[in-house]
């Protein structure tokens, strides 16, 4: 049974940007069509045991062929913006060199369809789908990948820059670094632990170079989508607070400080990074028009248990015992079907901490992802999740944080990376055998909430 919140949402500014988000690898399918090259995720999912349900993204939601139907769902929802990602291997199949015009044509059609529906396109240039030829050459561990990324950004902006107003360079470089290169849980499946740090630096360098390429094409609204969440120490003990501080440094400050402050948060850490770091930081910190935050949950962190044997499971991720910190389960809160704690007030905490840490260096903020995994079409738990987080977001805005927009993850159920199709984040249900789309109760709730907001 759907639970509808008893009171309407508080009033957001009339120019507040409401949207939903997706990514190419998770929804498009058509991986062998129109000249698209293989991505690191295509190769990763082909390896037995890498995806929990043994699935892949060859079809996904079929968005490549059903994009008009999906844009109609966006129009019916009443959002002002749609955040999608451009698949690098669909546009530049080898990651560098020859451009695939047929791939660009698809995004041309999608953007035109969005504009005809009155939905503003927000294009993400990279959402983890590194072209496999670049991955085989070292991927984001190599400096050249950042340069190839900037060249690809220029190609996409040259085609779409006249119609796409808002651009995002990277999505969640922290997760690609940690899960893809550090722990091997995501593509490309490397297990380098702290030797994965060059991937963080080169992604950030690629971000800065892409900002320069977009500016050269006249783009005026650029951001990045970094994942962030409060880090809570498991206790006041020195070992726990030190472990929590290190975790926070690696997952939050390592990716925000270079972009917003032009420096790494720790000199010893910066010394481990490749290249002319000081020169690179001037590029990484190219001014942004807004800063995107993907928020899902806080993390409780303590010192590792010296008696622990073997890897520990945390939120579906296998963590090696030799890490110098240990995430713990947060008790006393509802949980999503993914097992993640639902803590709306931590979004307020996060935004206030960003204002305190970055001050005048923090541009306006966009919440570029926020959502939850629940089964069922009558998804009252998702409605409660969104309602609670929007109220917490409004509280942060009342306290003076300049937030300009909010994007739900996700428009539709999709290929959820190493989880396969087992986790459903969508406002729209996808029957993965027929690809039939069915709006959920949360879709109808958000539609009605946006209509109420529009009435003023």
Q: Helix, strand, or coil here: 44?
A: helix
> What are the φ and ψ backbone dihedral angles of 224, each rounded to 5 degrees?
-130, 155
For CA atoms 319, 325, 330, 331, give the dihedral sign.
positive
Q: Among this protein's residues, is 349 annotated catalytic?
A: no
Task: Return d(Cα 426, Cα 373) in angstroms, integer.
Answer: 8
Spell out the residues 6+ positions from residue 267 whose beta carbon is closer than 8 angstroms to its own: none
Neighbours of 98 (CB within 10 A): 10
Q: Helix, strand, or coil here: 231?
A: strand
Q: Which of 175, 286, 369, 416 is catalytic?
A: 369
Task: Return d(Cα 106, Cα 97) in angstroms, integer.
Answer: 19
- Tell me which residue has tokens 């008790």: 331
Q: Which of 28, 172, 175, 416 is catalytic?
A: 172
| CA end-to-end distance (rounded Å), the chain | 29
- Tell me which residue has tokens 């490309």: 188
E strand residue ranges, 237-381: 291-294, 299-302, 312-314, 317-319, 326-328, 365-369
Task: Return d(Cα 259, Cα 261) in angstroms, integer.
Answer: 6
Q: Among this protein's residues, is 33 annotated catalytic?
A: no
> What are the φ and ψ backbone dihedral angles of 38, each rounded to 5 degrees?
-75, 145
Spell out the residues 6+ positions from residue 177 whose beta carbon is closer than 8 angstroms to its own: 140, 196, 197, 199, 200, 203
Task: Return d(Cα 403, Cα 397) in angstroms, integer.
Answer: 6
> What are the φ and ψ backbone dihedral angles of 23, each rounded to 5 degrees?
-140, 150
Active-site residue set: 172, 369
């Amino acid at each position: 049974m759907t639970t509808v919140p008893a009171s309407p949402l508080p009033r957001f500014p009339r120019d507040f940007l409401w949207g939903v988000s997706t990514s190419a690898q998770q929804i498009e399918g058509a991986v062998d069509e129109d000249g698209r090259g293989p991505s690191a995720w295509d190769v990763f999912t082909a390896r037995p045991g890498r995806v929990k349900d043994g699935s892949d993204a060859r079809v996904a939601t079929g968005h490549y062929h059903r994009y008009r139907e999906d844009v109609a769902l966006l129009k019916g929802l009443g959002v002002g913006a749609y955040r999608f990602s451009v698949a690098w291997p669909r546009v530049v199949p080898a990651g560098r060199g020859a451009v695939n015009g047929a791939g660009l044509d698809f995004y041309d059609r999608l953007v035109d369809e969005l504009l005809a529906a009155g939905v503003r396109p927000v294009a993400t240039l990279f959402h983890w789908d590194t072209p496999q030829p670049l991955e085989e050459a070292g991927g984001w561990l190599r400096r050249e990948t950042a340069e190839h990324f900037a060249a690809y950004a220029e190609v996409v902006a040259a085609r779409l820059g006249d119609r796409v107003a808002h651009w995002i360079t990277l999505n969640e470089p922290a997760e690609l670094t940690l899960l893809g290169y550090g722990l091997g849980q995501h593509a490309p499946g490397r297990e380098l632990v702290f030797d994965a740090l060059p991937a963080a630096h080169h992604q950030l360098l690629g971000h800065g170079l892409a900002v320069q390429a977009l500016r050269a094409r006249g783009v005026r609204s650029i951001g990045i989508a970094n994942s962030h969440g409060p880090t809570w120490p498991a206790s006041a003990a020195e070992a726990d607070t030190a472990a929590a501080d290190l975790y926070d440094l690696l997952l939050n400050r390592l990716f925000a400080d270079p972009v917003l402050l032009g420096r790494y948060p720790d000199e010893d850490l910066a010394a481990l990074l490749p290249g002319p770091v000081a020169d690179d930081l001037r590029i990484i910190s190219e001014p942004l028009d807004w800063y995107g935050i993907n928020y899902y949950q806080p993390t409780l962190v303590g010192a590792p248990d010296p008696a622990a044997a073997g890897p520990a499971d945390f939120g579906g991720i296998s963590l090696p015992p030799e890490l110098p910190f240990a995430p713990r389960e947060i008790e006393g809160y509802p949980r999503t079907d993914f097992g993640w704690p639902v803590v709306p007030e931590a979004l307020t905490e996060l935004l206030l901490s960003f204002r305190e840490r970055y001050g005048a260096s923090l541009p306006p903020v966009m919440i570029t992802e926020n959502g939850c995994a629940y089964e069922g079409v009558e998804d009252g738990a998702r409605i409660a999740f969104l309602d609670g987080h929007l109220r917490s977001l409004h509280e942060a805005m009342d306290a003076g944080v300049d937030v300009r927009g909010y994007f739900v993850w996700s428009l539709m159920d999709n290929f959820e990376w190493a989880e396969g199709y087992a986790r459903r984040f969508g406002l729209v249900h996808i029957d993965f055998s027929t690809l039939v789309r069915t709006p959920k109760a949360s879709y109808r709730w958000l539609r009605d909430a946006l209509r109420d907001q529009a009435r003023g």
